[in-house]
Structure 1
Amino acid sequence: MRVLFSTYGSRGSVEPIVGLAVRLRELGAEVRVCAPPDQEFVERLAGVGVEMVPAGRPVRPVVTTVTPGSAVGLAQRASELMAVQFDTVAAAARGCDALVVTGPLPVAAAARSVAEKLGIRYVHASHQPVSLPSPHRRPPVRRGQPLPPETVDNQTLWDEDAGIAHTMFGEMLNTHRASAGLPPVDNVRDYAFTEQPWLATDPVLAPWQPTDLGVVQTGAWVLPDERPLPADLVAFLDAGEPPVYVGFGSTPVTAPGDVARAAIGAVRAQGRRAVVSRGWAGLALIDDQDDCFLVGEVNQQALFRRVAAVVHHGSAGTTTTATLAGAPQVVLAGGGDQPYWAGRVSGLGIGAEHDGPAPTTDSLSAALETALTPRTRERAAAVAATIRTDGTTVAARLLLDELSRERPAVSASA
């Protein structure tokens, strides 16, 4: 079996693909990954021995320069992403049995078109439930396309969302499809998602309420990280009580200097030390006191097991990693699916939801006070024990079983 993955996004989009790709390979499949050519993704895939096909422009400059929520340049970026699928990904998919896709709608819609053209299995997977149509919640707002404020029925809003998505991306997708000899589609969103999308989230941390959509929840795709922590970080951890981790991953941060000052001030107000992650926001220490330690790329699975709390942006990956580690959390949610994860952390009692992504020392200190209580710590440990760790195995076996059933039987005389 040969499986190609295609994704475009930051670390939170790529890392789950790494986990499933490695598991599929362990089960005997040939795998390769089309991903943005950022150096950290190249190194990550090389480090686990998975072949990477660079696809599209590096994503970090896009993430760190685009104003959150802005639609400026969106049409051009979407067109480029579609072209990459019809060109680079289509070439890489020849001879494959399946194409598994995550990422933004232009990527998914174009990738399904490629799979359709080649006649191979297509799977759309989401690492969060927010974008999948459900009458139990409102759809997220698309860039530059607000939903009608007078509409309150969720199903009506999802119908509106389908129309908005097709207006935004339908013409450019159908232009590519026509060039590939494919007929037009009239609903880009539902075409990309299919009638049976996969949801790669834990059912306790991110439960899916049944709908008419045949969602298959596999569990989160997490690759166990066996890398040791750096010796100087271990020395810092060993030198005192567990610190508070502060990091925002690949999420851009407005005024990172102000955020760092507020975060470190809040940690100190709680009588704690801090481990600060640079991330794509470029956080830095605010002074040379020995109660703070700055890290870059690091094994979060190992680190989070040794901290008193995790202050983060609320991505699916960081939320899942912190929850698995049993670490209390404070989530400073911005846009996208981050408010959902903040709500889940608060609702499960495993941490606190900060009011917005711009903390003051006082506001973050108050949230940390909640996260650092013995009650929250006990609850975080209890929830950690319920989180499944077999998501990649479930997904890999599901895909391989489906491909085995779809393969034509070979006669004895062949």
Structure 2
Amino acid sequence: MRFLVSTIGSRGEAQPVTALAVRLRALGNDVKVVAPPDFEDLVTGNGLDFTPVGPHLRTVTAVKLKPEDLGRLAEESVREQFRVVGQAARGADVLVAGGALQHATRSIAESINAHYVYASFCANTLPSPHHAPPAMLGRVPVNGTPEENLAQWDQQRHLFGSSRAAINAERAKLGLGPIDDVRDHIFGDAPWLAADPVLGPWPGPGDLVQTGAWLTDDQRPLAPELEAFLAAGEPPIYFGLGSMRGAQDAVDHAVEAARALGKRVVLQRGWADLRLTDDAADCLAIGEVNQQALFRRAAAVVHHGGAGTTTTAAAAGTPQIVLPHMYDQYYWGNQVERLNIGRSAKAVTTEVLAEALQLADQAAKVGTQVRTDGALVAAKRLMTL
């Protein structure tokens, strides 16, 4: 079969999409991946066909946009997605859209008579009376009664609608009729949930396909400098904010808290290019890394709360501290608290870090329950469409 798997999100969406594509190809399928140009090395490094879409996200997120720029960029994104996905999807049997803001994928699938599957990487990005929607535009919804939650979902629906005119203009070029509800159009009639059922279960109502998280099998060795650092003492505290533009003082707080407890620190610089304030031997700054290997050797993992990082830390059996910034990260912080495998906090203090370190046994127990075959489950099911 011929598959197109697409996303326009950050690494938290590009990585699971790549994991699915790897499994599909291993099962003998022809697979193409469409993702932002930032992730070309990730995709091609796994031997996959890669097509870039949109600008470099690392560059765009570094610029503080004015409100009047958002509408223009949204329209440009819609047109770009229709152009790129339309070309890459020629001859495809199944189109898989990974993550939100997939403006073109379902329309392209309609135009070529292909199957369409929308996959979410977090339960609270899909409507349910049992949870509030994710944080958007600086507003962090709070879980309430089923009626209150649904009301919050209705309030967020209009945020998707700003792209409706641009989508319908592109659909008209394909000979397709207009859509009214952008969110429901993107999610489709039967969305999938690519999240671990222990860490992020679907609360209902209704049944949906929950495959487990789509994880890569990362075999990259750790850098010699990092290996030497790990071997030189007890397991360190890992700190990294991924693609978030985190404040530098968050690093300083974490290092101070770790040192107060006699712990060392490994800092991943990330897209914010975070730095250490001194060159003491108890801390090491690194770049891109095999998190699966590193987290198993850490005393605790401090991170932004992305779906992939949260799942990787949970699977490693390592306690974690979530410092949420946006979107689904508050949800993952709550799930970490629910399972008692870590803490969700605004900053790393000595008290918060000490509490997290005391949860090592519980984190190890939950780690044995986290599924690692989600991408394979999804790939096999897609082949039955």
TM-score, normalising length: structure 2: 0.95
In the alignment, does 2:248 pair up with 1:252? no
In structure 2, the residue matched to 1:130 is: 124
Q: CA deviation at 1:104?
A: 2.9
Q: CA deviation at 1:333?
A: 0.9
Alpha carbons of structure 1 residues 314 and 364: separation in structure 2 relative to 1, 3 Å = same
Output the CA distance in 1 between the equivalents of 2:204 and 2:337.
Answer: 23
Please report the RMSD computed on the Cα atoms of aligned residues, expressed in angstroms: 2.1
Q: CA deviation at 1:157?
A: 3.0
Output the CA distance in 2 between the equivalents of 1:177 and 1:27.
Answer: 33
In the alignment, does 2:193 pair up with 1:199? yes
In structure 2, the residue matched to 1:228 is: 221
In structure 1, the residue matched to 2:351 is: 366
In structure 2, the residue matched to 1:411 is: none
In structure 2, the residue matched to 1:155 is: 150
Q: 1:154 is aligned with what amino acid? A: N
Q: 1:15 is aligned with what amino acid? A: Q
Q: CA deviation at 1:266?
A: 1.1
- Between the two proteins, the alignment pairs up a number of residues equal to 384
SS at match of 2:230: helix
Alpha carbons of structure 1 residues 144 and 277: separation in structure 2 relative to 1, 3 Å = closer
SS at match of 1:387: coil
**Percent of residue pairs identical:** 48
In structure 2, the residue matched to 1:405 is: none
SS at match of 1:56: coil
In structure 1, the residue matched to 2:99 is: 103
Output the CA distance in 2 between the equivalents of 1:66 and 1:309.
Answer: 32
In structure 2, the residue matched to 1:18 is: 18
Alpha carbons of structure 1 residues 127 and 146: separation in structure 2 relative to 1, 3 Å = closer
Q: CA deviation at 1:142?
A: 4.1
Q: CA deviation at 1:139?
A: 2.1
Structure 1, residues 166-205: CA drift from partner, whole Å, max 9, x if none?
Answer: 5422222112212222101111111110121011000000
Alpha carbons of structure 1 residues 116 and 342: separation in structure 2 relative to 1, 3 Å = same
Alpha carbons of structure 1 residues 99 and 364: separation in structure 2 relative to 1, 3 Å = same
Q: 1:194 is aligned with what amino acid? A: G
Q: CA deviation at 1:243?
A: 0.6
Output the CA distance in 2 between the equivalents of 1:77 and 1:365.
Answer: 42
In structure 1, the residue matched to 2:75 is: 79
Structure 1, residues 64-85: CA drift from partner, whole Å, max 9, x if none?
Answer: 3347xx8552222221221122
In structure 2, the residue matched to 1:215 is: 208
Alpha carbons of structure 1 residues 305 and 146: separation in structure 2 relative to 1, 3 Å = closer
TM-score, normalising length: structure 1: 0.88
Output the CA distance in 1 between the equivalents of 2:371 and 2:360.
Answer: 19
SS at match of 1:73: helix
In structure 2, the residue matched to 1:391 is: 374
Q: How do 1:30-49 residues align onto structure 2 when only pairs under 5 Å count?
A: 30-38=30-38, 41-49=39-47
In structure 2, the residue matched to 1:273 is: 264
Alpha carbons of structure 1 residues 58 and 64: separation in structure 2 relative to 1, 3 Å = same
Output the CA distance in 2 between the equivalents of 1:86 and 1:167.
Answer: 17
In structure 2, the residue matched to 1:410 is: none
Output the CA distance in 2 between the equivalents of 1:66 and 1:324.
Answer: 35
Give the conservation status (yes or no) of the 8 Å contact 1:4–1:33.
yes
Which of 166, 171, 189 is residue 177 of structure 1 equivalent to? Answer: 171
Give the conservation status (yes or no) of the 8 Å contact 1:85–1:114.
no
